[in-house]
Amino acid sequence: MKILAIGGAGYIGSHVVRTLIDKGHNVTVYDSLYSGLKENIQPESRLIEGDILDYVHLRDTLAQGYDAVFHFAALKAANESMTKVEKYSVNNITGTINMLNAMCETNVNRLVFSSTAAVYGEPQYVPIDEKHPLNPENYYGFTKLEIERIVHWYDRLKGIKVAILRYFNAAGYDIFGRLKGLERNPQNLLPIIMEVAAGMRPKLAIYGSDWDTPDGTCIRDYVHVNDLADGHVRALDYITEKNESLLVNLGSESGISVKAMVEKARDITGEKIPADISPRRFGDPARVIASSGKASEILGWKAKYSDVSTLISTTWNVYKDLRK
């Protein structure tokens, strides 16, 4: 297929683009490079620099003839979203409406959408399945949930078939070492651990050591980015073959505590990785673990590379040459 990957120069988007190319698809990346990187553009793809808010440019790009759109172009810093509501509203919600309207105008009727487990909010039970109540606790999660609702209407009224993929904690780097572009201003635990290991920051803050978990630190479900990419390709195949929309979680179905992640990173990197205990952060749940049974049943998908050793070692392969 001929695919337009909006935001395809970013961390997750670039890994999905690489996998799509591996599967024989013709991929064009449409990216403003606000957070995406030119070095993530694969030699078999091409880059069109453009903003999702530039409707005319986006429409004219889609008019070149595409079979499907992959949408990764969202701002995603949960804490920032709570203070910069206008910025997140315009980029995430207005930008997505621009994209959907451009798809309608150019008769592109397949969409794979990068959503998030943040739509669930505080877990009422674990593992979290797709039937869990939807109550996001940050504005970023709210924007993703609103987009899910909007695309459902475009499916119903305009016939755009959409795969909504709710990620848990994306982590790791390409298992074959083909992608090495670092995230700008990373917010997640593993790249921050790696920055400490590489001497790029002095120490790590562990937010709370008295949670109701075996070692007192928060537990999260980390899913390797290659596993996520595989899920995206399977989702495209599903909506194409079935001509129906799809909503699934993509998670490893296992939890890793902050302390366990840090200790394993010390073992793999051979670095001390200093860490201090800090006060709990407001809104942090003790435990978040996915149920990915629906993805397994419908897509035949299962996380293959999401064990803690692979998550850390593939990430360290990118960071170790930056040691100071």
Instruction: Report the catalytic residues.
Output: 140
Amino acid at 114: S
What's 111's DSSP letter?
Answer: E
196 class by beta-carbon count within 10 Å (0-12 exposed, 13-18 middle, 19+ buried): buried
Q: What is the DSSP string of 251-300?
A: --S--EEHHHHHHHHHHHH-----EEEEPPPTT--SB--B--HHHHHHH-
Whether residue 221 contacts residue 290, with contact meaning beta carbons closer than 8 Å, is answered with yes
What whole-number distance in Å separates Cα of residue 64 and Cα of residue 152? Answer: 25
The closest alpha carbon to 52, from 12, 11, 10, belongs to 10
- Sequence length of the chain is 324
155, 190, 270, 279, 307 from 256: Cα distances, Å: 36, 11, 20, 20, 9
Whether residue 104 contacts residue 136, with contact meaning beta carbons closer than 8 Å, is answered with no
